[in-house]
Amino acid sequence: MSVSRRSILAGGLAAPLVARGLATVGAGVGALASRTPARAAEAAHRLTLGDSEVTILTDGGLLLPASTLASNVDEGKRSAFLTSHGHDAEIRASALNVALIRKGDALVLVDTGAGLNFFQDAGLLTDSFDAAGLDRDSVTHVVLTHGHPDHVWGVIDDFDESERFPNAKYLMGAAEWDFWMNPDFLADNPEELHSFALGAQRNLGAVAEKVERVGADHAVVSGVTMISTPGHTPGHMSVLIEDGGEQLLITGDALTHPSVSFERPDWQPTTDQLPELAVKTRRTLLDRAATDGLLLVGYHLPWPGVGRAVAKDGAWRYVAEG
């Protein structure tokens, strides 16, 4: 399905999903949208932290209406802020940066991308693995930050429902798993979440026997820890790498925009399911990141999504690195 920018602005085909803010359009989002392996190879970004090697791979990109950035701010104020920070006032371009951590014998993937059923410009992760010379069979752990489509719909292959990472065990926050896998989900939750839940149940259900439901501060392997960052979803978790005297935090969707999330952390994106808790988590996380000098990797921050938070005027500023 190809949906034009025009139709999304007019509330066309994508309107039901726009309600929760996770809609996109078929139009390209530059190099990230390319399905060619050559482009994906260029987009593999590597960094090291002590003995840990982190590779960022693209799963493509999403385009969302800018209105998804703040449900509690009027349009004029939002547009002025975005324009003054060099962003489009109507369309929010969102990257899909998937982190792969190599630590000793472990190869830990954080989220699986969107697969091919979500939107046209997403689902490039398997191409990116191939282009970077990486083998999906060698992934030992898959950490799922949360159950939204762009993070878990890549668990299984959309054609034959085979596992894309067949030798991996899975880890997900227990609260997050329980929320999406609730057998009474459709009765218990609003309709705009139903398609998300059906996709989550299809993908997560396929690997259910390999999933470990974990609590806060769970060590995936030595030096790689899942920490609780709820609000975007009920059981959202981030991944902290500590190695060589440095810390790197893979934030999942606790931070989603390079200007709004950092400089206006109280703005409530429509994609946050528990908006007030998300604000609280965001502020705590940014304070820690700035105070401790954490390197951040944001799933939706501009490619490759690597940067730091610097305190500024009672909020923060995003400084991209790499």
Stretch that binds Zn ion, among 12-20, 210-218, 247-255, 312-320 (CB under 5 A): 247-255
Question: CB-wise, 123 or 223, nearer to Zn ion?
Answer: 123
The answer to the question of residue 253 lying near Zn ion (CB under 5 A) is yes
Size of the site for Zn ion (CB under 5 A): 2
Q: Which of 122, 28, 22 is nearest to 68 (CA)?
A: 22
| H-run or E-run covering 82 | helix 75-84
- Tokens 């139009």, residue located: 27
Stretch that binds Zn ion, among 69-77, 174-182, 250-258, 276-284 (CB under 5 A): 250-258
Query: Virtual CA dihedral for 250, 253, 255, 260, nearest 10 degrees?
Result: 150
Question: CB-wise, 220 or 255, nearer to Zn ion?
Answer: 255
Please tell me the distance from the alpha carbon of residue 3 to that of residue 66, in angstroms, as a whole number.
17
* Residues 145-204 close enough to bind Zn ion by CB under 5 A: 150
Instruction: Give long-range contacts, CB 8 A cutoff, 24+ apart: 264-269.
Output: 264/70, 264/73, 264/81, 264/315, 265/315, 265/316, 266/72, 267/69, 267/70, 267/72, 267/73, 267/78, 268/70, 268/71, 268/72, 269/21, 269/68, 269/69, 269/70, 269/71
Stretch that binds Zn ion, among 8-16, 73-81, 122-130, 246-254 (CB under 5 A): 246-254
Please tell me the distance from the alpha carbon of residue 292 to that of residue 22, in angstroms, as a whole number.
32
Q: How far apart are the first and last CA of the chain?
A: 34
Binding mask 21-60 for Zn ion (x = CB under 5 A): ----------------------------------------
**Closest separation in Å from C-beta 94 to Zn ion:** 8
Please tell me the distance from the alpha carbon of residue 293 to that of residue 295, in angstroms, as a whole number.
7
- Tokens 């969102």, residue located: 94
Question: CB-wise, 253 or 272, nearer to Zn ion?
Answer: 253
Question: CB-wise, 52 or 201, nearer to Zn ion?
Answer: 201
CA distances from 119 to 63, 91, 126, 145 (A): 10, 16, 15, 20
Stretch that binds Zn ion, among 9-17, 35-43, 142-150, 169-177 (CB under 5 A): 142-150
| Peptide bond preceding 37 in cis form (omega within 30 of 0) | no
**Closest separation in Å from C-beta 253 to Zn ion:** 4
Stretch that binds Zn ion, among 61-69, 131-139, 144-152, 217-225 (CB under 5 A): 144-152
Question: CB-wise, 52 or 233, nearer to Zn ion?
Answer: 233
Question: CB-wise, 68 or 201, nearer to Zn ion?
Answer: 68
**Closest separation in Å from C-beta 145 to Zn ion:** 8
**Closest separation in Å from C-beta 114 to Zn ion:** 9
The answer to the question of residue 263 lying near Zn ion (CB under 5 A) is no
The answer to the question of residue 272 lying near Zn ion (CB under 5 A) is no
Question: CB-wise, 32 or 49, nearer to Zn ion?
Answer: 32
What residues make contact with Zn ion under the rule CB under 5 A?
Answer: 150, 253
